[in-house]
Chains A and B, each alone.
Chain A
Amino acid sequence: MEDELYLENIDEFVTDQNRIVTYKWLSYTLGVHVNQAKQMLYDYVERKRKENSGAQLHVTYLVAGNLIQNGHTCHKVAVVREDKLEAIKSKLTTVTSIHVYSIQKALLKDSGPLYNTDYDIIKTNLHNCSKFSAIRCADAVPRTPAEVAQARTLARAASQTLSDTSTVSTPPLNGHGPTAAKQSSQPPKGIMGMFAAKAASKAQDTNKEPKAKEAPSVSAASSKPSAKANIMNNFFGKAAMSKLKVNSVPEQPKEEKEAVKTSVPATEPESSPNTMVEKPGRKTEPAKIQQKDKKSKMKRMDKSDNEEEREPENQKKKRKRIKQLESDSSDEEGVPASPTLQEEKAPSPPPLVPALKAELEPASAEASTGGKKRKRKRVLKSKMFVDEEEGCMVTEKVYESESCTDSEDDFAKTKPPAAPKQPALPVKKEPKEERKNQKKGAATASRANKQVSIMGFFQKK
């Protein structure tokens, strides 16, 4: 009958599978209350021993009770083997609980296997580890990701006010502190929105807790755009996303990337363009690091980016900025339909530069020496370029591409329109980006990693 089913289960676990069946393991496996599991184990032991006195079953018990020690009463909880049970019971003044802890076939030398059994089963049930426990706590409800994000913003605001009014009244010597805090608080919605979206998707991955009904729907709804947003973030970093978002507003989405971009605005509904631009200012560096890690993907995305941004030139300007900084120099973008547009887009795949500054600095150097570069197409030039930029490393590819292009005049034209469109960026970045524009414009025309040199050679003729 159904009631006896558990006996067969335990029998199977202990005898056939040769497991160590602890009460907790049984409780999770059969989905019963822990006390029931303890009773089931005891029942099984009794019956088995009655049926077959030679049954090879070793049982460990849990004994808890009081003990007078050093003048005070100590509460003692012990896991003991069956043969020590009576000894322990006699030592304790009062026995408050006895129950079966585990059943196994083999005699246990020490308690390590008991711990391992419980550890494994808990690991697989981390999200509902108190489900079969005898105590329920009303407060222990996991927060939804939205609440988590709220709590974080509150904590951040609280810590700021706290730091202002704390006894540590002297302002920190590293001026970083308050300004960073303020900046971070300013676009909390923007950043936090992204974080929240990311946290939502990540929380789902890492936390095995069963989400509340709202949470899955919310997270499912946001997970797709946020997943895409995450991919995009990984490719371009938050700076890129912000810029993409700004750019995507007037654009008509053509590809799924743009769909992703629109989803990014969804996740960052309230970020102001200024803050978004500011953020790229600050986030380009980490973004670039990310970009280096995902060069190939960035190339693909750059392709699509380029294609999207062919028509509207305004967005292209901003796009360029992003692409210069983030995408790799890729020659796979295809033959540009309009050379000017392509040239503008060419800058977007950033050169394969290991250092962040290197990306900017070569660009700046290139921009500064843009005029000269156009005329000179020697590799030697690039080496000089490196020295100017204080040891930043630039790949051959970059230089080759630069030297190959003849159309850098176009970038001179695009520079001025690009400049006013990047007002909020730090000045340092703007010239660099423009230079990158030029560089990339030059690069696009001859964008094949190794073939660039060859084509450049021919073109320069």
Chain B
Amino acid sequence: MQARAPTVTMATAPPRPPRLPWRRAALTPLPPRGYATSAPRVRAIPCQGLTGGAVWGFQMPGSKLRSIFGGFRCQGVIWRRVQVPGNLRGAFGPAAMFSEVTPPPGHTLLGPPSAEPPTFARAGSNFADRSQPFRLGERSFGRQYAHLYATRLLCMRPRLEQQARLRWGDGVLLRKLCQLQAGERCCVVGTLFKAMRLQPSILQEINEEHNLVPQPPLAKYVDPSDELVLEDELQRIKLTGSIEASRLVTGAVLAVYGHEQEDGKFLVEEHCFAHLPPQLPWQGPSADRFVLLASGLGLGSGSGESLLGTQLLVDAVTGQLGAEGQQSCAALISRVLLAGNLLSQSTQSRDSLHKAKYLTKKTQAASVEAVKMLDEILLQLCSSVPVDVMPGEFDPTNYTLPQQPLHRCMLPLSSVYPTLQLVTNPYQADVDGVRFLGTSGQNISDIFKYSSMDDYLEILEWTLLAGHISPTAPDTLGCYPFYNSDPFILTDCPHVYFCGNAPRFQSKLLTGEDGQRVLLVAVPAFSATQTACLVNLRDLSCQPISFSVFGAEDDSDMEVGQ
């Protein structure tokens, strides 16, 4: 390696080549006579700008220069010092998207090896775990769920009454059901119950009189004949009127405004939910920081197609994949959050229940191998980035919400790293001052089954407006019988509210009535879509990142990331 003049700074840089017309030249390597050229020279690299035009980038040769500028740590460092065609200067303004941060800084990997490839430091992050309400210590299942509903109503009543006053005036009459008088327009706060004909009921199944065949699992259990009933502490009353039964689910607490009719039903004129709670003050980072949200890795499924995709994801995050620009941006990913379903549904085989003992005696559960794979993947991730692992529907932890963290004994290789955090299923944390709250998707998919809402993002938004993470929790979704508190009630409005294992990627920035800004993200299942999400903490934007590999069948059309 020849020594170069160490004083190549911008001031003494060789004159830049003249502005050539924009044309897309092939990326040619340097002459093959060794990669240490005698004289520093500037190589003009054309690259496509964001708006589709060509932009000239300039490679400052030599690793020394890189070291002077401190490497490709920040996207702006090299670029701002390099002359850029003026009319595209605005394109390199504040970068919001991950991809916008990665314009290739000139040095191409399609060339002979260079002396000292740069290494980037992972962006640090302040992290505080706020999921203590979801962590259960000693558990007792000797209680009824009535306590949970009672405490839910008790906690949410003040907020609902406040919303009612906001909407229907301060003078609105707030009545309990036992105080209702026929014909009087008032507002009642209570818990919804939806009587559904198609709802699977264990009592019906075991009822021998009817000789009913157990109902096959349906995609949706809604029926036009569903009725809504409002319950409060003492009584219940049927609801009619301008309230749409198909959209609502059991367990939501709401305030209805109307009057009681002669037939004993309550005619609803309007109804409202608790709406967004007050939000914590914004303490987000001022520089770009990304958090990768991924869910549904689906290991152990037996099909190898998604494995290379998973490997690409891990490589991209750990900085092995991609050119230097991409690696420098991957270094800005300060945290990875795996939102459930790390194991595939096929690991849940119940052979041991159905098959004869002699057939299953020596067989190992499918989840054992899958967890080993998970351990290796997590080891690669943990050695490079802090990871939070949430359990999901098919993961080896308890079934009822809140799901407790996976036990570290299952992950011996990766649990040695302090960067691995095994967390609960509804998970809440402060990452760099940004409050994250989300689940692995069981709550959303349960509401999907029991209401007519089809869009995961819409359901996500609805739960936020209803002020409760999973209103269907004890009714159709397994839940721990809490006694004095309901940790699923939203008390603080998060900044990022996500759900895992959605069918496709969706995201939306929601603005609340009091100026709350919430980024709603429906994280897609990686095993199906090969897509993960990158959330920029600086401005609460989200971008999907998808991976694709070539398959045997693909000749003409590339799969373009769902």
- Whether chain B is bound by chain A comes out as yes
Complex Cα–Cα for A136 and B48 (A) = 29
- Tell me if A67 and B135 are in contact (CB < 8 A): no
- Tell me if A177 and B138 are in contact (CB < 8 A): yes
Complex Cα–Cα for A43 and B35 (A) = 11
* A97 at interface by CB-CB < 8 Å: yes
* A16 at interface by CB-CB < 8 Å: no
Q: Per a CB cutoff under 8 Å, which of A66, A135, A209 touches B327?
A: A135
Complex Cα–Cα for A103 and B459 (A) = 47
- Tell me if A78 and B548 are in contact (CB < 8 A): yes
Q: Per a CB cutoff under 8 Å, which of A43, A76, A207 touches B112?
A: A43
- Tell me if A74 and B140 are in contact (CB < 8 A): no
Among the stretches A168-176, A239-247, A261-269, A277-285, the one at the interface with B is: A168-176
Given contact pairs A65-B99, A77-B547, A134 touches B117 in the complex (Cβ within 8 A): yes
Complex Cα–Cα for A112 and B552 (A) = 10
Given contact pairs A73-B99, A98-B323, A140 touches B385 in the complex (Cβ within 8 A): yes
Taking CB atoms and an 8 Å cut-off, the chain B residues in 482-526 that contact chain A are: 482-485, 487, 507
Complex Cα–Cα for A412 and B475 (A) = 64
Complex Cα–Cα for A129 and B315 (A) = 10
Complex Cα–Cα for A38 and B108 (A) = 10
Given contact pairs A123-B376, A143-B417, A76 touches B548 in the complex (Cβ within 8 A): yes
Interface size, chain B (Cβ < 8 Å): 97
A interface secondary structure, majority: mixed
- Tell me if A36 and B113 are in contact (CB < 8 A): yes
- Tell me if B550 and A111 are in contact (CB < 8 A): yes
B331 to chain A: which residues have CB within 8 Å? 134-135
Among the stretches A81-89, A307-315, A341-349, A378-386, the one at the interface with B is: A81-89
* A164 at interface by CB-CB < 8 Å: yes
Taking CB atoms and an 8 Å cut-off, the chain B residues in 261-316 that contact chain A are: 304, 307-308, 311-312, 315-316
Complex Cα–Cα for A77 and B324 (A) = 14
Given contact pairs A96-B326, A170-B483, A39 touches B376 in the complex (Cβ within 8 A): no
- Tell me if B419 and A137 are in contact (CB < 8 A): yes
- Tell me if A129 and B552 are in contact (CB < 8 A): no
Among the stretches A114-122, A252-260, A389-397, A435-443, the one at the interface with B is: A114-122
Given contact pairs A79-B312, A115-B308, A135-B121, A167 touches B34 in the complex (Cβ within 8 A): no
- Tell me if B483 and A134 are in contact (CB < 8 A): no
Complex Cα–Cα for A87 and B558 (A) = 9
- Tell me if B122 and A137 are in contact (CB < 8 A): yes
B interface secondary structure, majority: loop
- Tell me if B548 and A142 are in contact (CB < 8 A): no
CB distance from B406 to the nearest CB of A (A): 14
- Tell me if A135 and B384 are in contact (CB < 8 A): yes
- Tell me if A99 and B140 are in contact (CB < 8 A): no
Closest to B29 in A: A46
Complex Cα–Cα for A131 and B113 (A) = 18
Given contact pairs A75-B546, A133-B319, A173-B140, A126 touches B413 in the complex (Cβ within 8 A): yes
Q: Per a CB cutoff under 8 Å, which of A97, A118, A207 touches B104?
A: A97
Complex Cα–Cα for A100 and B109 (A) = 8
Among the stretches A155-163, A222-230, A328-336, A413-421, the one at the interface with B is: A155-163
B550 to chain A: which residues have CB within 8 Å? 60, 78-81, 84, 108, 110-111
Select the residue from A66, A87, A114 with max chain B CB neighbours within 10 A: A66
Taking CB atoms and an 8 Å cut-off, the chain A residues in 151-202 that contact chain B are: 159-160, 162-164, 166-174, 177-178, 181
Beyond the given pairs A69-B561, A93-B50, 11 more chain A to chain B contacts, judged by CB atoms under 8 angstroms and listed by A's residue number, are A39-B113, A43-B32, A75-B546, A78-B549, A122-B380, A126-B376, A135-B331, A140-B417, A141-B418, A168-B140, A171-B140
Binding site for B on A (CB under 8 A): 3, 6, 23-24, 27, 32-36, 38-40, 42-43, 46-47, 60, 62, 64-67, 69, 72-81, 84, 87-88, 91, 93-100, 108-112, 114-115, 118-119, 122-123, 126, 128-130, 132-143, 148, 159-160, 162-164, 166-174, 177-178, 181, 203, 206-207, 209
A-B contacts, 6 of them at CB < 8 A, read A34-B319, A42-B112, A65-B99, A75-B534, A99-B109, A137-B384
